[in-house]
Amino acid sequence: ETGVTQTPRHLVMGMTNKKSLKCEQHLGHNAMYWYKQSAKKPLELMFVYNFKEQTENNSVPSRFSPECPNSSHLFLHLHTLQPEDSALYLCASSLQTSGGADTQYFGPGTRLTVL
């Protein structure tokens, strides 16, 4: 168990729905990440939060809206999604020391299907 949990594990939504994905880490880490995993494509980094501050937004459409209320929780709010947004959404966390890259630990993901 990596100590990173995600809910729900599966989500089916229509294009007009609004839903939220939740991630929680129990590792005492300071950085959290959202990735999108589509079939036969590399993991795509979406958002990065360091100490609750967003430090990265990889040109993600505004229909995806992240929220990080504290270092342990991360949300991804979804609205008016498209069928091509169907994918596995992975959350990760890392310690984020002052210098050097560090290991990211992943949650199990949320399998999202947009009808």
Within 9-38, which residues bind another protein (CB under 8 A)? 31
Q: Between residues 24 and 56, which has the closer beta carbon with respect to another protein?
A: 56
Among 2, 17, 20, 65, binds another protein (CB under 8 A): 2
- Regarding 103 and contact with another protein (CB under 8 A), the answer is yes
Q: Are 75 and 97 in contact (CB under 8 A)?
A: no
Q: 50-55: long-range contacts at Cβ-Cβ below 8 A with a sequence spacing of 24 or more? A: 50/96, 51/96
Distance of CA 61 to the CA centre of its chain: 14
- Regarding 71 and contact with another protein (CB under 8 A), the answer is no
Q: Are 41 and 99 in contact (CB under 8 A)?
A: no
Q: Which residues bind another protein (CB under 8 A)?
A: 2, 4, 6, 31, 40-43, 45, 48, 50, 55-56, 90, 92, 96, 99-109
